[in-house]
Amino acid sequence: MNVEWAKKQWEIGVVEPDYIDFLKETYLSDIMRGNDVQSVDSLVAYAGFLNELGISSDSYPLYLEVLGTNNEASVDVLLDGYEPEKFLDCVIPNHYIVNSLFMFLGEHRKNEVYAKVLEVIIGLFAKLYRSAEEGFQLYQPSIAEINSLGKFLDETRDQDDLLNRVILDVLQYLTTLDTPHESNESKLAVARQAGRIRSDFFDNNRSLIDSLTSVTLEQASNPTFGLKPDHVYGSLTK
């Protein structure tokens, strides 16, 4: 669509359906950015609407968009009544989902992702790579993507910490791709890097800096998880 042409048509009273769709997308994008309190109010209300509808195999992209805002208030409303690590259980993992989640992890520093969002992501990875061979056939993670997962291990907590435990499980699943007769170099590289990260977490004489770069492990000095809404929203009930 030629936006400028459609806008001029709009100004003389000729309404193009594509231009209406463009306006809807523009305003929804503004809401998703959550750059001011007004948009965050709308985002939280939208998250509540989606929560009431309930996630399904058809509607999940809308829920991923809200999770992708990393806004604590809206994520809390979206996930109300759900166990975060099971939130995407109704969805069959596919390339689009897994790629989107790995990209999200790669775009954020290790302390910049709201814990509940991380639980949702790691929960899906655990489901996908529990059968590592099948998971690898569906989506072949790169070394960089394995690193973007491993960086979220918290060395100030032990292996029984919820997030640590699930991340360590996912890394363990991936190490099983390293078999005696495996000839796929990409698969072997992923398996061995997953094993290195896992071993460095457990080894008292080593740390994640031995398998990940300082850039990968960089933390934000003052991480925040989005603006808070102007109104206080009570817990939703299903």
pTM for this prediction: 0.86
Residue that has been written with the tokens 């800096």 in this structure: 209
Tokens found for residue 122? 């790691």
Tens digit of pLDDT for each residue in 165-214? 999 999 999 999 999 999 999 999 999 999 999 999 999 999 999 999 99
Q: What local confidence, expressed as pLDDT, does residue 238 receive?
A: 41
Which single residue is written with the structure tokens 């939703």?
A: 236
Q: Between helices 37-53 and 17-33, what is the axis angle to 10°?
A: 100
Q: Please compute the mean of the pLDDT values over residues 98-125 and round it to a whole number.
A: 97
Measure the CA–CA gap between 201 and 117, rounded to whole angstroms: 22
CA gyration radius, the chain:
21
Is 79 or 23 the better-scoring residue by pLDDT?
Answer: 79
CB contact at 8 A, 208 and 197: yes
In angstroms, the CA 109 to CA 70 distance is 12
Cα separation of the two ends of the chain: 41
Residue 5's φ and ψ, nearest 5 degrees, are: -65, -45
